[in-house]
Amino acid sequence: MEKRTLTLKNENFKTREENGEMRIEGYFSVFNSRYELCDGAYEVVLPGAFDGETKKDVRALINHDSTLVLGRTTAGTLELREDDYGLWGSILINGSDQDAVNLYERVKRGDVDQCSFGFNIVDEDIECSDGNPTVWKIKKVRLYEVSVVTFPAYEATSVQARKNEIENIKKRQIESWRFSMLKKLKGEKENA
């Protein structure tokens, strides 16, 4: 599973109390926004990437910790929906769970205002050309969890995997260029 992080400001990620229920709400992913991986490489999540995923068994966690469950779609304590802007979620806070109440208060004060999501990539396109950043366009994911996080950051393994992909792409480009130049030196046509 990969973890992607999105930094959200308080106006997008907030608490709400209504009829005795406490909720944390906001966008866990925003479409067409750059998720920086490293210098010269980033990802964007495209509209439709979460199609069908919001009805599956997805959990809301604190800091990606599977022992700190805030809500779950199948329990009706996590609501997720994909709209034109991104993946929006509403977590119903359990007032008897001190960890959840503490987090609610931290979000309310603005001490915690960021989130992340854990997923596997099902379908993506890669754009890579000389002089331009490498861009992964994520078209479809399998969503496992959304998290309210203190320190959003890419998992090192995800970044390293993407860096390895960039290196492999560059190697293939160099090999393709060499092959093309050898053909030209031999006087062969490009399509021969």
> In a structure prediction context, what are the per-residue pLDDT tens digits for the chain, which is 192 residues long?
655 554 444 456 789 999 999 999 988 888 998 877 777 788 899 999 999 999 999 999 999 899 999 999 999 999 999 999 999 999 999 999 999 999 999 999 988 888 888 888 899 998 887 788 888 899 999 999 999 988 765 443 344 455 566 666 666 666 777 777 887 888 877 555
What pLDDT score was predicted for residue 29? 87
Q: What contacts 9, CB < 8 A, 6 or more positions away?
A: 113
What pLDDT score was predicted for residue 19? 92
Q: What contacts 154, CB < 8 A, 6 or more positions away?
A: 3, 4, 5, 35, 37
CA gyration radius, the chain: 21
- Taking the C-alpha atoms of residue 46 and residue 126, their distance in angstroms, rounded to an integer, is 13
> Taking CA 137 as the corner, what is the angle to CA 3 and CA 84, rounded to the nearest 5 degrees?
85
- Whether residue 150 contacts residue 112, with contact meaning beta carbons closer than 8 Å, is answered with yes
Strands (E), 19-113: 21-30, 35-38, 41-45, 59-62, 65-72, 78-82, 86-93
What pLDDT score was predicted for residue 33? 85
